[in-house]
Structure formats: structure tokens, C-alpha cells
Amino acid sequence: MQDNGKPKIELGLEGVYFTESGICKVDGVNGRLYYYGYSIETLAENSNFEEVCYLLLNGRLPNAAELSGFRNSLAQERPLPDEVAGLIEDSPKDAHPMDVLRSAVSVMALYDPDANDNSDAANMRKSIRLVSRLASAVGAIGGCRNGIGYVKPDSSMGAAGNFFYMLTGKKPDAEAVKVLDLMLLLHAEHSSNASTFSGIVTAATLSDLYSAVTSAIGTLKGPLHGGADQAALEMMHAIGRPENTEVYINDALAGKKKIMGFGHRVYKTYDPRARIIKNRLEILQGSANEEVRNLTSIALAAEKLMIDKLGSSHGIWPNVDFFSGPVYTDLGIPDYLFTPLFAASRIPGWCAHVMQYWKSNRLVRPLEYYNGELDTQYVPISQR
Ligand code: ACO
């Protein structure tokens, strides 16, 4: 209780610990990130998305036979139920892709015999299905938007390869698959971020995994969270040319606007994921594609300006969403798929946290301080 008799309110639950977990450490002071103790740099250098999914769902790295079995399970689950593919095909072309994805996951539950089985084994089966099918659903959303319709997944490819295949109908380029796989790995997990927390809140009522993931997708959509990647690219397009960057950023900051892709609730230093993605931008500076070169120059100019203005002084640094735009543009991925792809990468993290939370489940139910009147007189409608 404070001196004024009010409890201390932690707006946005900032600084509040609500549970313990060994899945992920976000060190916001030193700019470090670990999945089950492995640094993100180590995983980015040595691992791949499928192996990281196994790590997050099982708490340890697989041996070769386990990874091969896991990949087979993912491959088997990749096709979408006809009803889900149909929903994606029939969705209005101007619907928000995150709304389509959220609806698709809801409909997946209707055709999953395990949907309401909350046993550990069923939850693991559903996690594998969700990890596999979210990437398929995002590829299908892309394919249906660009006119080629629902391309059935190819079980010989992993999540990144299949996504490209379903988006374009063509066998993907190996280098593009490698880059997208790294992007998926970098986004796979991030402790009790807003979407994971909302999934846990839903799960903690002893609802089911599909409901938790549906909540998480709805939460990820917002521009203060996963939606920032698309918003950051839109800003780069609005800037237009690298030489306009300074005026644009100064005007935006003077108008108290936020620069999307900067700032973080936990990192008060450079986001280590952004640092890894920035390495790719250094390659893109020499791209043959003029649009990509231009976006890259704008992104690097904006990064330098923002760090000079707000980095050390305000703790506002690039986050994981800032550099994705030029990278995805180079890969031929349209901006409306950025946030859905984020969902397809964060799905192992969501499932891992929900399954872990259930092991010592407690309903999440914080308090709000009531600051209204009491015993208000009810006036009949005819007298109002
Ligand atoms: N650009 C300019 N100013 C910023 C930015 C930014 N990107 N981020 C924070 N600030 C300023 C705020 O205006 C505020 O200033 P004030 O104290 O003068 O009012 C101060 O920094 C604190 O900002 P809050 O929004 O209150 O801090 P919070 O901890 O809630 O911020 C957040 C985290 C929401 C991510 C914020 O930095 C932001 O809105 N960034 C832009 C959106 C974004 O990139 N989101 C993706 C985050 S990463 C992820 O979710 C995957």
C-alpha cells in the first residue's frame, strides 16, 4: 500500500514476475538471449528451426535419430485439413492476414481429434501439428493472395522451404530457405512476451492448446508487438530515399510518434536478434535489386540516427522487428506475411510455455484498483 492508501499499480505488469521457467532467458541489460541455456548466437550459427522446435518442446537437443523422427512427424502434419485450406481460400482478399491465420487455427481445432484432450501426449501431438501447420497456413495465405491458390505442401521440405513452395508454387532457392530458416529460429521463443503471456492466461483456465494459440495470435497482431515488423517496413517505404531519413525521423519524434522496430520492454540495449539480422543487411547493401538496396540504406541510416538520439540516453535500440523488412523483401516475401510468419516461428515457444505452465497451473487473475463510485442511485430509464 502507498501513502495515499492505494496499492502500487504496475501498469502493463511491468517488472512483475508471474512464474518461473527454464525455457528462455532474456537478459535485457546485457542484450543476451538464451533458449534452454543455449545462446541465440550459438543456435543461429549451428542449429536450425526444426532442431530448435525440438529443443523448446522437449527441453533438450535431439540426437540424429530423434531429429529425423521429429522432422518426419512435422512432414506428415504439414497438409492442412481441407476445411482449413477452404477457409483460407474463401477469406476476403482484403482481410487482415493475421485475422485469417487466427481463424484458421480456430478451425484446425474442429478437425483435430485431440483438440480437447489435455493429456501430455495429446498436447505434444497438437504442438507438433501446430508447429507444422502454422507455416503451411501462412504459405497458403500467401499463395491464395497472389492467385496460385492452395498449393499442397511437399513433405520433402522443412518449414521454410515449404512456406516458399506454397507461396510461389516453385521449388525454393536453397540460400533463401537458409535465410528464412534463420529468421524462424530467431523468432521462435522470447520468454513471457505479450503473446506468450496471453496464451498462458487462456491456458491457465484449463482451456485447450488451440484456444491458447488463438489468443496468442490475436495478441501478436498488434503493432506494439509482432505487427511492428510490417509497420517498420511501411515506414521505410514512407521515407522513400536514404537522404530523407533524418528529416522523417526528426519530424516523427517531434510529433511524439514512435519509430516502429525500436524500443523494448525488457531490452534496454541492442536486441541480440536484431544484431544477427543486421549482419544480413550488410550483405544486402550489395544486392542487385535496387529496392532492396534502397530499403537497406534507409534501415541502416535510421538505425544510426535513432541510436545517436535515443540509444544510450533513453535505452531505445533496434528490436527484432526493425531489420526484417529489407530481408523479407529480398526473399520476395510480401509485407502482409511478416507478422503471420512471426506467428509461424513463435509457435514452438507458445506451446512450450503453455505445456510447462500446466505442470503447476494456477489461474491468472490479477487485480484492478477500483476508482469509481459506490452505491450509485439507479434512475429509471424514463427519468434519464
Ligand atoms: N520510438 C520513439 N520513442 C519510443 C519508442 C520508439 N520506438 N519506444 C519507446 N519510446 C519512448 C516512449 O515514447 C516513452 O517516452 P516518454 O517517457 O517520453 O513518454 C518511453 O520511450 C517509454 O516507452 P513506453 O512505450 O512507455 O515503454 P514500453 O516499455 O511500454 O515500450 C514498446 C515497449 C511498446 C515495445 C515500445 O518501445 C514501442 O512502442 N516500440 C515501437 C513498437 C515496436 O517496435 N514493437 C515491437 C517490440 S519487439 C516485439 O514485440 C517482437
> How far, in Å, CA of 291 to CA of 159, rounded?
27
308 part of the active site: no
The protein residue with its alpha carbon nearest to ligand 1, atom 32, reads 264
C-beta 199 within 6 A of ligand 1: no
C-beta 250 within 6 A of ligand 1: no
C-alpha cell at 104: 484458421
Task: Assess whether pLDDT exceeds 80 at residue 3.
Answer: no
Q: Which CATH number fits domain 228-330: 1.10.300.10, 1.10.230.10, 3.30.2290.10, 3.40.1740.10?
A: 1.10.230.10
**Greatest pairwise CA separation for the chain in angstroms:** 76
pLDDT digits (tens, 9 = 90+) for 317-371: 999 999 999 999 999 999 999 999 999 999 999 999 999 999 999 999 999 999 9
Amino acid making up residue 278:
K
- One of 114, 264, 271, 353 is an active-site residue; which one? 264
The protein residue with its alpha carbon nearest to ligand 1, atom 4, reads 258
pLDDT digits (tens, 9 = 90+) for 66-81: 999 999 999 999 999 9
Q: Model's pTM, two decimal places?
A: 0.96
Q: Are 55 and 61 in contact (CB under 8 A)?
A: yes
From the CA of 224, how far away is ligand 1's center (Å)? Answer: 8
Residue 2 confidence class, pLDDT cut points 50, 70, 90: confident
From the CA of 223, how far away is ligand 1's center (Å)? Answer: 11
List the chain domain ranges. Answer: 228-330
DSSP state of 47: -
